[in-house]
A and B are shown apart, each in its own frame.
Chain A
Amino acid sequence: MTVGNGIDSNTQMGPLANHRRIEALETLVADAKAKGARVLAGGERLGNRGYFFPLTVLADLPDDARAMREEPFGPLALINPVSSIDEAIEKANALPFGLAAYAFTRSARNADRLAEGIEAGNVSINTLEASVAETPFGGVKESGNGREGGMEGLSHYTFVKKVSHRMM
């Protein structure tokens, strides 16, 4: 993964947008490592000019690792094993967030269970695309309320007025 200046057409991933992201990611990685996670890729800032951070992959994190509970908002992927789909759904739903969720399976039965069981406003199966203009987008739980786009999207910007007119 080529990390560099976004103006350069060879760059695959640009810098983080501000310094706060660097500090947040460093904190989450350090905490995960201290709690026993493996670092499979990345983990440290690149250089000291510009907010460059590599694609970082951690594995085997305990549930109480901060990265598993606080939104990283950076190039951080966290990988854990599960025995069953039920266990995966339970872990997926364990946080107060519920914006996007993804699943990969060829089985229609699995896909149906996952779509039904996951607590999120947007479930994507076999694709990592979460929203396009014509579909309603938004969260449940602490990821927010309301939907943008789709048929539902304009409802927040209007109100219902019911008029009862008795004709004389």
Chain B
Amino acid sequence: MTQDPDLQLYIGGAWRKAAEAQPVLNPADESVIGMVPVASRSDLDAALAAAADGFRTWSRTSPAKRAEVMLRAARLMRERIEEIAYAITLEHGKPIAEARLEVIRGCEFFEWDAAECQRIYGRVIPSEPGIRYIVMHQPIGMVAAFSPWNFPMSRPARKIGGALAAGCSIILKAAEETPAGAIHIARAFHDAGLPPGVLNLVFGVPSEISEYLIPRGQIRLIAFTGSTAVGKKLTEMAARHIKPVLMELGGHAPVIVCDDVDPVATAITSAIRKARNSGQVCTSPTRFYVQKSIYDAF
């Protein structure tokens, strides 16, 4: 039974299918639950053109109005939490309670960014009379963003929230293995009245998409969450064009347990947190360094 939402690209405020598609699997039983579209070169060109239009409109939209749209979209996602969480669990495998928490966390990111967007203050620098020095913060432009499979809704939310709050437009390539979260975000923003082209969602062959988008003149920021290995490649590509990057990469989190705490309680807390998302989190507690006197008990 296919429960995944109808998986399509979202470009210029419209849903579109691609010529090619690839299967999405349910990791609990390896069955095919949907087909995710593979963007072609012309889909990417359409996304670039749409994002350029979207940026022109959105960068001239008042912060209050941008916040209103973001909050409306977040409210819709909160209302749709059961549907979104179910889709996340089907394609990712995490327990449905964790999927619900992820949706709430994603909405909190949108709500936080919507508030921050109204406080992008600049400043006036004291000067001699007759000259005025003003520091302004302007939206950087079109953003190319890439999100991973481990948090298929809240990781895209982080990127989309930041870009939209700042007045930028965005082309997001979300994870092909877990597409539903990003699709639900696009749906909610569409229903919330986001102007066409501000948010564009594509899927496809990751290296093809990054190699095509990153050098394009109108892309002004590359934002990526994923492995350090891929982050290095994208950073190198961006560096060739002197483009700034926002990189959230791998971790190998140490946990230092001092001998003045209860080792058993700490161990139980740690095991529960380790199991979260089956450990597939960049911040997952992994290397436990326990002081010798409580080591065996821990």
Binding site for B on A (CB under 8 A): 1, 4-7, 9, 11-18, 21, 49-53, 55, 57, 68-85, 87-89, 91-92, 95, 97-107, 110, 114, 118, 120, 122, 126, 128, 130-134, 137-139, 142-146, 148-149, 151, 153-167
Contacts and interface: CB of A to CB of B under 8 A. Distances in A.
Interface stretch (B126-134, B185-193, B194-202, B210-218): B126-134
Contacts of A70: 252
Interface string B80-112: 000000100110111111110000010011011
A73 B166 contact: no
B258 A149 contact: no
A40 to B, nearest CB: 11
Nearest to A101: B254
Interface string B270-294: 1101110011101111111111100
B86 A7 contact: yes
A104 B271 contact: no
B258 A110 contact: yes
A17 B258 contact: no
A139 B162 contact: no
B165 interface: yes
13 contacts: A9-B97, A49-B29, A75-B274, A77-B288, A80-B287, A95-B252, A103-B255, A139-B247, A146-B245, A146-B247, A156-B162, A163-B134, A166-B131
B285 A102 contact: yes
A104 B261 contact: yes
Contacts of B274: 55, 75-77
B248 interface: yes
A55 B271 contact: yes
Contacts of A74: 278-280
Most buried by A among B108, B140, B178, B286: B286
B264 interface: no
A46 to B, nearest CB: 11
A72 B253 contact: no
Interface string B112-147: 110011001000000000111111111110010000
A11 B221 CA distance: 40
A132 B111 CA distance: 12
A113 to B, nearest CB: 10
Contacts of B143: 157
Place the interface of chain B in its size category. 35 or more
Given A78-B287, A102-B254, A143-B282, 9 more contacts: A7-B96, A15-B27, A17-B280, A74-B278, A80-B288, A81-B290, A101-B255, A148-B246, A158-B140
Interface string B148-166: 0110000000100011011
Contacts, number: 321
A122 B136 contact: no
Contact of A12 (B90, B275, B280): B275
Contact of B163 (A79, A82, A157): A157
Nearest to B99: A6
Contact of A104 (B25, B257, B284, B292): B257
B290 A79 contact: yes
A145 B228 CA distance: 11
B223 interface: yes
Contacts of B23: none
B252 A157 contact: no
Given A6-B94, A167-B130, A82 B290 contact: yes
Given A6-B28, A105-B261, A131 B283 contact: yes
Sorted from nearest, which 8 A-B pairs have the closest CB atoms? A99-B251, A157-B166, A100-B283, A92-B254, A144-B247, A133-B112, A105-B258, A14-B93
B168 interface: yes
A145 B223 CA distance: 10
Contacts of B204: none
A158 B89 contact: no
A92 B287 contact: yes
A12 B111 CA distance: 29
A143 to B, nearest CB: 5
Nearest to B282: A99
